[in-house]
Amino acid sequence: PPKIENVTLWNGVQMPQIAVGTAFFDPKGLHSTGKRYFALLPERAYRSVTLAIEAGIRHVDTAYVYRTHEAIRAVLGGMFASGELTREDVFITSKIFHGDKGIGPKGTALMIDDLSPEEVEEEVTRHFEKSLIELGVGYVDLMLLHWPAQFNSKDALNPQRRLAAWRVLESMYEKGWTRAIGVSNFSEIHLARLMEDGAKVKPMVNQIEASVYNQFDKIIQYCEENDIIIEAYSPLGNGATNMLEDPVILSIAEKHDKNAGQIALRYLVQLGYVVLPRSSSPERLRTNLEIFSFQLDEEDMEQLAGLKKISGSWGLPSPYNMS
């Protein structure tokens, strides 16, 4: 497989520029009985992570709320046992501090609005430690705060809760239980406030929704100015935006003899982002890695930049909707 490029975090840690994402859910959600359901499906991670590693991907992205830690442990554990991989060969990212109810079994997400900053510290510590136990590892490579607050919460205590959660990550970083720390879905306002409120360690990564269609300009500008790496989830629009049928992307794909997905991912990689495409198809995983074997020219990059939409999001809450 082509050599995967790394980005260097401000503390010197090397992070592979493509990861396999493990948030699996079926938006159609129908059982054979015709009963509809909305649930995360962690069982899909066994195959997906196996295929990703076989394709050459060495960065696995998970989260406490996805419930895929154990599947990742099973897949990686088998490879550690056979000697096919060592722990140092793999970059593991997880996330904790996810608000909102109804996304999974009780206890996987937090009712953040109901917690005092002290209780946040306690819960986030518990979720961090539980993540290590579920993954069966002594440390993760990167731990992120999953969201800045409960979805769409305007609660006045949110900045104090975020700081309390961040202090947990700082202390785990001090202990060496994670090699890097960062945030996810934070606006530039959340980031600036976190630093003003007394964060000792600056976040190394901000994982946000980003694609050719969806670019949070102000967040990206703040991160670039402050040496915070952008990690793009839903880099292909999560199937909800018809991005892969865009005539501009298709014409650039034809020019380079690539597919639309490769162009959409290469654009982000060339901007310096880490990308998180989710796939369980061996062919798609293989072609995703080919993004490191060609370059887009200036004209391509300009044309793609012109595709940005006011809101290219596929429907998650906006970071700006949380105080």
Q: What is the pLDDT of residue 105?
A: 82
Q: Helix 282-289 to helix 260-270 angle, to the nearest 10 degrees?
A: 40
CA distance linking residue 225 with residue 143, whole number of Å: 22
Q: What is the pLDDT of residue 316?
A: 81
Contact 18, 277 (CB under 8 A): yes
Mean pLDDT of the chain: 93
35-60 pLDDT tens trace:
776 778 899 999 999 999 999 999 99
Distance from the first to the final alpha carbon of the chain: 44
Average pLDDT of 75-98?
97
Average pLDDT of 109-135?
96
282-316 pLDDT tens trace:
999 999 999 999 999 999 999 999 998 755 566 68
Q: Which residues of the chain form beta strands (DSSP E)?
A: 6-8, 14-16, 20-21, 59-61, 91-96, 142-145, 181-184, 205-209, 229-233, 274-276
Half-sphere exposure of 36 toward its Cβ, with a 13 Å CA cutoff? 2
Edge-to-edge strand list for the sheet holding 229-233: 20-21, 59-61, 91-96, 142-145, 181-184, 205-209, 229-233, 274-276
Q: What is the pLDDT of residue 239?
A: 66
Among 137-151, 182-196, 197-211, 304-318, whose mean pLDDT is lowest? Answer: 304-318
pLDDT at position 317 over 90: no
Among 29-38, 49-58, 232-241, 260-269, whose mean pLDDT is lowest? Answer: 29-38
Q: Helix 260-270 to helix 247-256 angle, to the nearest 10 degrees?
A: 90
Q: What is the pLDDT of residue 130?
A: 98
Q: What is the pLDDT of residue 312?
A: 52
Query: Nearest-5° angle of CA 181, CA 186, CA 187?
Result: 135
Q: What is the pLDDT of residue 27?
A: 65
pLDDT at position 198 over 70: yes
Query: Nearest-5° angle of CA 209, CA 210, CA 211?
Result: 135
CA distance linking residue 283 with residue 280, whole number of Å: 9
Strand partners, 205: 229
Higher pLDDT, 29 or 264: 264
14-37 pLDDT tens trace:
999 999 999 987 766 667 777 776
Q: What is the pLDDT of residue 24?
A: 86
Q: What is the pLDDT of residue 88?
A: 98
Active site residues: 66
Which SS3 state, helix, strand or coil, does residue 25 take?
Answer: strand
DSSP track, 225-266:
HTT-EEEEESTTGGGSS-GGG-HHHHHHHHHHT--HHHHHHH
66-85 pLDDT tens trace:
999 999 999 999 999 999 99
pTM for the whole structure: 0.95
